[in-house]
Structures are given as structure tokens and as C-alpha cells.
């Protein structure tokens, strides 16, 4: 069963740490033989690089995602506020800490060692939420049913 965790207080990355992590995730992109796909708002971790025709996903399965807010709390900083581990990630032994630590290691950080910030409210746009799942959010960690 997939898991979703709200990171409270949220983890904050300095400009230098954010830049180092984004460079590393870009270098380890799924289209280049890596396992990460970082886009605005979400960093996706796959179980393998994309191996489909013309650079498509192929048999790669999403293992987990890290939801981030760019330029928060100030310019050039990133805030990590939510993490989801998919069924495939759970089967592979992935945890919230392990997923975050893998990305954060590129800046010499772990989720436990990151500076923290208390967000005053949820982000204006939550990439994990759709109208169907918004009503099910009720606790810090919850199971997500497909």
C-alpha cells in the first residue's frame, strides 16, 4: 500500500544546497540512464532508468515522489513538504527517509539534518492533490489507496 507523509516542520534547503541537489538530479535524470525526474514541484524517483522506445518510460515504475516548493521561504531556496512512496517503492523497501536522504545526500544532508521551517499554510497548488484525493487527507502519514 502506497504511503504519503506530510513533512512537519517542512525541510528547508539553502540556495547552495538546492543548487547542488538540482544539478545532481539533472545529471541522474531517467532519460540519461539515471532514476530521477525533477520538475517544478515534484522530484520523481523511478526504480530504473526509462527504457521505452524514443526515451519513454517503458518498464520503469515510479517508486516515490518528493513535493517541493521553489523560491520558498525566500528566493533560491527550496522547501520539502510532502513525500509519497508508491506500492512499487514500498515493495522495494523504500521509506520516506531513504528517498529524501538519497536526494539530499548530493548536498551532504539528510532529512533529519535539514533545517526546518513551519509553513503558515499549505501551498497554493499541491501536485499530489486532485479533487478526488483532497478529501482523504487526514493525518501526518496515511495509506493511499489506488
pLDDT digits (tens, 9 = 90+) for 55-101: 899 999 999 999 999 888 888 899 999 999 999 999 999 999 999 99
Amino acid 131: pLDDT: 41
Contact 62, 88 (CB under 8 A): yes
pLDDT bucket at 127, cuts 50 / 70 / 90: low
In what helix (H) or strand (E) does residue 103 lie, and over which residues does it extend? helix 96-104
The two most distant CA atoms of the chain are separated, in Å, by: 44
Amino acid at each position: 500500500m502506497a504511503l504519503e507523509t506530510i513533512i512537519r516542520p517542512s525541510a528547508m534547503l539553502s540556495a547552495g544546497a538546492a543548487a547542488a541537489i538540482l544539478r545532481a538530479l539533472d545529471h541522474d535524470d531517467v532519460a540519461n540512464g539515471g532514476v530521477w525526474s525533477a520538475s517544478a514541484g515534484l522530484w520523481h524517483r523511478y526504480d530504473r532508468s526509462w527504457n521505452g522506445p524514443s526515451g519513454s518510460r517503458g518498464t520503469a515504475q515510479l517508486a516515490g515522489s518528493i513535493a517541493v516548493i521553489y523560491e520558498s521561504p525566500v528566493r533560491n531556496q527550496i522547501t520539502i513538504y510532502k513525500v509519497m512512496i508508491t506500492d512499487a517503492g514500498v515493495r522495494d523497501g523504500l521509506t520516506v527517509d531513504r528517498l529524501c536522504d538519497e536526494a539530499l545526500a548530493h548536498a551532504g544532508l539528510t532529512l533529519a539534518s535539514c533545517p526546518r521551517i513551519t509553513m503558515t499554510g499549505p501551498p497554493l497548488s499541491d501536485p499530489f492533490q486532485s479533487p478526488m484525493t483532497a478529501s482523504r487527507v487526514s493525518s501526518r502519514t496515511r495509506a493511499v489507496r489506488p
